[in-house]
With several copies, the nearest count.
Chain A
Amino acid sequence: MTVLDHRPTAPVPPWLPGATDPRTDPAPLLPDHTPVRVLGTPELAKHDPELLRDLYRRLVIGRRYNQQATTLTKQGRLAVYPSSTGQEACEVAAATVLRPQDWLFPSYRDTLAVVGRGVDPLAALTLLRGSAHTGYDPVATRTAPLCTPLATQAPHAVGLAHAARLRGEDVIALAMLGDGGTSEGDFHEALNFAAVLNAPVVFLVQNNGYAISVPLTKQSAAPSLAHKAVGYGLPGRLVDGNDVVAVHEVLSEAFDRARNGGGPTLVEALTYRLDAHTNADDATRYRVSAEVEAWREHDPVTLMERHLREAGVLDDALVARAAEQAEALAATMRAEFHAEPQLDPHSLFQHVYAEPTPQLREQADQLAAELAAEAGA
């Protein structure tokens, strides 16, 4: 018996009763009407104060990280930075829920999740600095390269989760993408493969209301993006993406389900990017400041601080500690990015194939000769 346990049984003729009954699932298919929230509810009390404090600390550090990276673009130290300012709750929850053996499949916006799971900040930003493509070892860090072609990382997550399951290993893959990415064919194909293979994978869609300038109303007519789960026979979950505890809780449930053979989950987190799409974007062209201000009222960092203080889980000392750690990270980033990057022109040819082809060897020689001539001149 294989783990897939495909039984290509005859399709039951539809005139027999029972043939077309909707799947009855312990995890109901349709998401709730209202997004899951924990902050400001009695549920908060049920959470481990240590976890809450850790999430808070990570949020503060994450915000500072976003700010520092944005500053680095202004100083020309980063080529481009797609900030997750305003979306730190999702980034932090994702990083926190991942166990060492799990894999993360981030999009370009998810450097914070990458750093949060332990990848060196400089390495995580290498792509955006422009000195190399991926700055970290994906296998060692169990973190796929930041993915730019939208939704293309989703089937990778499925394939990896499937392979791990085939090998009997307890590994979960988390694919992160945006609301716009859900429109791509690859998103659809990945969710369908995940469902059919019952792969231990979780899809986290950060619905920040925009794909660059395109608002969600032009992106989808669905009641919610979480509703997209229904068409694959998957459970869909809607969560307040600025409530880090809620996101953590919903992701944890999804991870538990995956770990227990319950298969994939689609999570939609409602959030907002407070910055422009990237430093190259002018967000005033497509959204009004009143909207941004309204969302600032629901800032994931201040929200968390307020509620934890109310709950007596956080005090001034801890807040100061978090701020200090954040400053330390920012200082490290400034120092690291101050140094000029090491650049090796010959690296261009080194990893196209395991062994360079004769053609690439010729071309590498050509470049070497050119560089030698330049150096000589």
Chain B
Amino acid sequence: MSTVTTEPSVRTSTMAQALNAALRDEMRADPTVHLLGEDVGTLGGVFRITDGLAAEFGADRCLDTPLAEAGILGTAVGMAMYGLRPVVEMQFDAFAYPAMEQLVSHVAKMRNRTAGKLALPITVRIPYGGGIGGVEHHSDSSESYYASTPGLHVVTPATVDDAYGLLRASIASDDPVIFLEPKRLYWSKAELNTAAATEPIGRAVLRRQGGSAVLITYGPSLPVCLEAAEAAKAEGWDLAVLDLRSLVPFDDATVAQVVRSVGRAVVVHESTGFGGVGAEIAARVTERCFHHLAAPVLRVTGFDIPFPPPMLEHHHLPGVDRILDAVAKLQWED
């Protein structure tokens, strides 16, 4: 991470504000950091994550681009080639798809294609997931596309601290990072100490201890898992909750250690299940912890359907009950 030249602050902050603070502090610390995207300048972004940054740093460093996602990311590639550190905002998950070719064929591969001569320190910020009543194309969870593309880091915060710390670490990374922002947590609040909230990419963290089983999750599903763990007490289950924070690289060491110690695991995410990141997690946990498992690693995920209309989305999103149903299936009779 770049040297912080700004005053650290401690205050109650929403995740949106924490992301804004991370951008501001990183822009102050490193003049090569440039933001670009649709409506990021004058408007401050449709979620206001870039609020005030054009005013502070000027339109050149917080650029309202034409409306073309491949063009935005492709332009960012060129900027990075000339030594800038671009941070791209995609307005919503589904609107990042037009940039897929630039992402897969260039952003992810450039370092490899050039034997390390050309690094692309680009951060692509993508608000993702449902739970905010968005109409179609506004609630996709597209992490599996990115996580299965070698060359990308895939990071997703679930707390206010991590939103700040991980975004700064992502911008400072010399590799491209897909930074997935759980949009339904934008308005979640906590105390943020910017001096303390530093976090390198790649470490999972145990958010809750528990001896019966572990819920492995990330991003938007963390609060749901914590709620489920609380509710599980009534059933006599003491559930640990593990927050991955980074899907790539994956913290095999921490995950395996926790799973081995409890012997039962449920993976929870709201993205569709088939071919989702949960499949990878379940598969690799099983490969590494097979003889410690009392039951198969189960998955609680969104259904294998296009994201539903707002009034039906609660049926699709994994909730406390669905998680507890899965926990109940963990063959407690053994």
Interface positions of A (Cβ within 8 A of B) = 2-4, 6, 8, 79-80, 103, 127-134, 137-140, 144-145, 148-150, 152, 154-164, 166-167, 171, 173, 180-181, 183-186, 188-190, 192-193, 196-197, 211-214, 218-220, 280-281, 285-286, 341, 343, 345, 347-354, 357-360, 363, 367, 370, 373-374
Contacts and interface: CB of A to CB of B under 8 A. Distances in A.
Given A144-B81, A357-B248, A130 B309 contact: yes
B270 interface: no
A79 B322 contact: no
Given A150-B67, A343-B312, A158 B75 contact: yes
Given A133-B112, A161-B78, A348-B308, A213 B84 contact: no
Nearest to A159: B78
A131 B311 contact: yes
B82 A164 contact: yes
A149 B79 contact: no
Q: Point out which of A137, A154, A155 has the most chain B C-beta atoms below 10 A from its C-beta.
A: A155
B145 interface: no
Contact of A183 (B66, B81, B303, B316): B66
Given A133-B114, A139-B118, A185-B70, A348 B135 contact: no
Interface residues of B, number: 83
A351 B71 contact: no
B60 interface: yes
B78 A351 contact: no
Nearest to B91: A212
30 contacts: A3-B60, A4-B60, A79-B135, A133-B112, A137-B114, A138-B114, A144-B81, A145-B118, A155-B102, A158-B75, A158-B78, A159-B80, A162-B78, A166-B84, A183-B71, A185-B98, A186-B98, A190-B75, A192-B66, A214-B38, A214-B64, A214-B66, A218-B66, A348-B303, A348-B316, A351-B115, A352-B305, A354-B111, A354-B119, A358-B253
Nearest to A211: B67
Given A359-B252, A359-B304, A352 B111 contact: yes
B296 to A, nearest CB: 16
Q: Point out which of B75, B79, B274, B325 has the most chain A C-beta atoms below 10 A from its C-beta.
A: B75
Contact of B81 (A79, A127, A159): A159
B68 A350 contact: no
Contacts of B118: 138-139, 145
Given A139-B118, A158-B78, 13 more contacts: A79-B133, A80-B135, A131-B312, A137-B117, A145-B114, A149-B98, A152-B102, A159-B77, A214-B66, A218-B66, A220-B66, A359-B252, A370-B321
A353 B64 CA distance: 30
B298 to A, nearest CB: 12
A353 B175 contact: yes
A287 to B, nearest CB: 9
B194 to A, nearest CB: 25
Contacts of A281: 46
A132 B309 contact: yes
A286 B46 CA distance: 12
Q: Which 10 A-B pairs have the closest CB atoms?
A: A159-B78, A155-B74, A189-B71, A130-B310, A213-B43, A357-B249, A163-B82, A159-B75, A160-B78, A180-B67
Interface in B89-133: 94-95, 97-98, 101-102, 105-106, 110-119, 133
Contact of B74 (A80, A152, A347, A348): A152
A237 to B, nearest CB: 22
B67 A219 contact: yes
B93 to A, nearest CB: 11
Contact of A193 (B71, B105, B106, B306): B71
A348 B42 contact: no
Contacts of A370: 321-322, 325
Given A352-B150, A358-B252, A367-B315, A158 B74 contact: yes
B183 to A, nearest CB: 13
A139 B82 CA distance: 8
B328 to A, nearest CB: 12
Contacts of B65: 193, 196, 214, 218
A287 B225 CA distance: 43
Contacts of B116: 350-351
Nearest to A137: B117
Contacts of B111: 351-354
A220 B66 CA distance: 7
A166 B82 CA distance: 11
B146 interface: no
B39 interface: yes
A186 B95 CA distance: 13
A98 to B, nearest CB: 16
B77 A156 contact: yes
Contact of A211 (B38, B136, B173): B38
B174 interface: yes
Contacts of A180: 66-67
B29 interface: no
Contacts of B138: 148
